[in-house]
Structure 1
Amino acid sequence: MALTYKARRRLSLLILLIGLPLYIVTSITVINWLERPSILLELFIYVVLGVVWALPFKFVFKGVGQA
């Protein structure tokens, strides 16, 4: 199912304004449950989680900045 440009723009805005903050809060909560690992491990986890969140939405964000 192909999304129109307008639908992709709206969906990407929804993901960035609602989904990303929820993902950030969830990630921080999980890290805090792990009893705060070493700073390098914590940095590695945040970098991995920062990349992983966007992979499922790659098709939505692709071409949104183009007119």
Structure 2
Amino acid sequence: MALSYRARRRWALVILLVGLPLYIVAAVTIMDVLRDRFGRPIWWLEILVFVALGIIWALPFRSVFKGVGRDDPDAPRPPK
């Protein structure tokens, strides 16, 4: 079942305001645990991991964010 435009907007806000900060805390915590266990990696590898983690979080939510910035397609159009 596809989400309505309003539902996608609400879920996008929840994901950005709640989910993304939680994901950032989890990603930094995982990196800190790996640093403690294996030592600090080479600088370019560390940057590569953070960039990958920065991209990976959005992939499952593409359908939620798709078209959220546009006008509501179901809204009535004003007459010209």
Calculate the TM-score normalised by the size of structure 1. 0.95
Q: Give the structure, 1 or 2, with the largest relative contact order (CA under 8 Å, sep 6 or more).
A: 2
> Which sections of structure 2, spanning at least 5 residues, go unmatched?
72-80
Rounded to whole Å, the distance in 1 between the matches of 2:15 and 2:43 is 29
Partner of 2:15: 15
How many residues are aligned here?
67
Q: Within the alignment, does 1:46 sit opposite 2:50 as a pair?
A: yes
Partner of 1:30: 30
Rounded to whole Å, the distance in 1 between the matches of 2:42 and 2:24 is 19
> Which sections of structure 1, spanning at least 5 residues, go unmatched?
none
Rounded to whole Å, the distance in 2 between the matches of 1:45 and 1:13 is 26
Of Structure 1 and Structure 2, which has the larger fraction of its residues in helix?
1
Q: Larger C-alpha radius of gyration, 1 or 2?
A: 2
Query: Residue type matched to 2:10 in 1?
Result: R
Query: Residue type matched to 1:16 in 2?
Result: L
Calculate the TM-score normalised by the size of structure 2. 0.81
Partner of 2:62: 58
Query: Segments of 4+ in structure 1 off by > 6 A?
Result: none
